[in-house]
Structure 1
Amino acid sequence: MLLDRPLLRRLFHLGALATRGMTLGVRGAAIDAQGRVCLVRHTYVTGWHLPGGGIEPGEAAPDAMMREFREEAEILPTAGLRLHGFYRNAAAAGRDHVALYVAPAFTILGRKAPDREIAECGFFPCDALPEETTRATRARLDEIRDGLPPAALW
């Protein structure tokens, strides 16, 4: 029997909560010279999202984002990441937080092949995102594009 995606998402977050107490994750915005942003579609949750994931014990947040860019999108930032904001993700769990980084310069190492976590990866014009792009992803991109301060909630 296949589990539905909301249940998979909840199980994923419960597992992280059980092993970490408080969950801390990263997301990253990589916007190319043509104004296209890298988005990923996961196998376990619906919608298009900025690349990212959990910070491992002993790992610095920027290092986690560098790892996640590589694992999820085959992106190698070539300049220091810029922290855009720090958010509480109340939709995931009461103790989940997300650090959002912007990659001011990067190299695409190759085409990201689908795997057990990432169903699809692509670059999309910031003004023509896929319909399934999540509300939070759209809000974070608006903040970055318009120079707005980060919101408190993801």
Structure 2
Amino acid sequence: MLLDQPLLRRLFHLGALVTRGMTLGVRGAAIDGQGRVCLVRHTYVAGWHLPGGGIEPGENAPDAMLREFREEAEIVPSGALRLHGFYRNAAAAGRDHVALYVAPAFSVLRRKAPDREIAECGFFPLDALPEETTRATRDRLAEIREGRPPAALW
């Protein structure tokens, strides 16, 4: 088949990227031993969210989540992350997808200082989330807490 040739296969994939415009991001749930979850408030969008962001070119999803935990919350997971679910984020764009990871164990290096991206970071009881916590964040945490399978949409 013609697409077995590496150059043609690469051109096909580049063409698909341009015409399809799919994006992929990660979010992570870090729940401590006291039943509190780490949430962040960004400087550029309203509400409290799970830490996360986009996957950089050449980066795999788990490594992106490790990076985002560190950048947004000063969290370093211990051991492997567990993939909870893969979602389509119809609110952001028609082709946006989010991989949600759970950090079974982690340490917090230091309190996260506000910066250009993160206005605030904190740990909140799962049964007393801030009022401004987004619907999607609440839904994902309920899935994890109740052992429900992931929904199709973020």
Name the SS of the counterpart of 1:90 in structure 2: coil
**What pairs with 1:2-151 in structure 2 (closer than 5 Å)?**
21-151=21-151
Deviating 4+ runs (over 6 angstroms): none
TM-score in terms of structure 2 length: 0.87
Q: Distance in 2 between matches of 1:57 and 1:87?
A: 20
- Residue 54 of structure 1 deviates from its aligned partner by 0.1
Aligned residues: 137
Shift of 1:21: 2.3
SS in 2 for 1:151: coil
Structure 2 residue matching 1:85: 3-state secondary structure: strand
Taking the aligned partners of 1:31 and 1:40, their CA distance within structure 2 comes to 13
Gap regions ≥5 residues in structure 1:
1-16
Counterpart secondary structure, 1:63:
helix
Offset of 1:38 from its aligned partner? 0.0
2:5 matched residue in structure 1? none
- Gaps spanning 5+ residues in structure 2: where? 1-16
Distance in 1 between the 2:66 and 2:113 partners? 18
1:136 is displaced (CA, Å) by 0.2
**RMSD of aligned alpha carbons:** 1.4
TM-score by length of 1: 0.87
Q: How far does the alpha carbon of each residue in 1:24-59 deviate from its partner, in whole angstroms, 9 at most, with x for none?
A: 000000000000000000000000000000001110
| Deviation readout 1:92-144 (Å, 9 max, x if unpaired) | 00110000000000000001000000000000000000000000000000000
Where 2:111 maps in the other structure, the secondary structure is: coil
